[in-house]
Structure 1
Amino acid sequence: MFIIFAALNLHKMVSNKELQEKRMRGYFIDAAKETLKGEGLKAVNVRTVAERAGYSFATMYNYFKDLNELIFICVKDFMSECEAFADDQTNQQTPGSMRLRARIRSMIQYFTQYPGIFELFYLERMNDIGARQPTAEMIYTFTDRIIQTDLDYMISNKEISEPDAEMLKISLRNGVAGLLLFYNNRLQPGDYRKFTETAEKQLTYLLGLPVLRH
């Protein structure tokens, strides 16, 4: 009986420790994400994140190997957040080219709303971001992740060939990043309405869809 009681207590202690660790990691992750969203990567350092989380910078090292690990986690979280935003915007639509266009539109909207995240993804040098090669690959193929379900649907319904689908992915990876680069950093086109019209025309052209009338 004593052995069972001791084992239960030990399990409870381990569970509490895991919960505490998860909670503490969450504080630092949230603090880093808030800083990245509002001020960009250049504002992120150990002291800034720790102060925002409400703990000392030494405490942070109890839960993360270094700042790069924390940033890598933030990148993955932002991707999930952007994907969830696209899901929410398009969950009533039928899979296919029209929904693919809508999902890319949602991705563009997300990155214009959070230019600090766009800079983290597409402008910062990989030397400044943790887990460089996995992060670079993850970011480069992120557009694929947003549209893959719709592309698979289009391929299975013979709306597009597999080679053409691969070319479309490459065009969207580079085209979306280019559009956002000029708008977020050079304000070209000069206002948001013109920017969205330009983005819509480019997506429509790439997908061979009818032009949307506003």
Structure 2
Amino acid sequence: MSLRTAGSVLVVFLWSVAGTVSAVEGHSYFHVTYTHQRICTLKGTSVDISCSYTYPSGHTVSETNWYTKGKLNKAPQILSPGYGGRVEYLGNMQSDSILRITDLREEDSAEYKIRFRTDQTTWEPTIPGTTLTVTGLQVKVTPATVTEGQKVTLTCSTTCTLSDNPTYIWYKNGHVTNQSTSLFLNPVSSEDAGRYSCSVEGHEDLPSDEETLTVT
């Protein structure tokens, strides 16, 4: 995973429910509850991955790490605060923690986990974590070959489902033309030919690449 300095406005698209993991030490339990099991968010934005945790009374948390396994058979990558200029730890670090990653890119997609140790234990616990998927936007044209008079659909496509019913903005030749998930041209004409792109409302600075619609 490549991390480099950048900044961006915070946007997060979430789905699924919280997950919990427990580790047993004798008759004492360590619990971690992740706020979300899965997060789908836009490339170029920021994300907060959060959790809360409990441990036996009398213990004090001495160190907390967020990490990701990365590729198979690779050692865990510790994402310490400031790592690559894009990582920040938030929360009180005794009962809750937030991993903030800025300037997201698709290679940041991974499962992120927290581990902590107390003054009386080694690292507790590890899995499961929160699975982050970072997606860009892509314009898809159906059908692929367009003839005048056909019904044509342009879809603002993502690799995962963005929650919160985001509003999409459509551009033709660089100018705003519509607001909808899909753009329907029925029937399509030669006047509809041009360069189309889309963005999510509120993040117009992160549009998709342009797709050229040719009408024959």
TM over 0.5: no
* TM-score, scaled relative to structure 2: 0.28
Structure with the higher fraction of residues in helix conformation: 1
Structure with the higher fraction of residues in strand conformation: 2
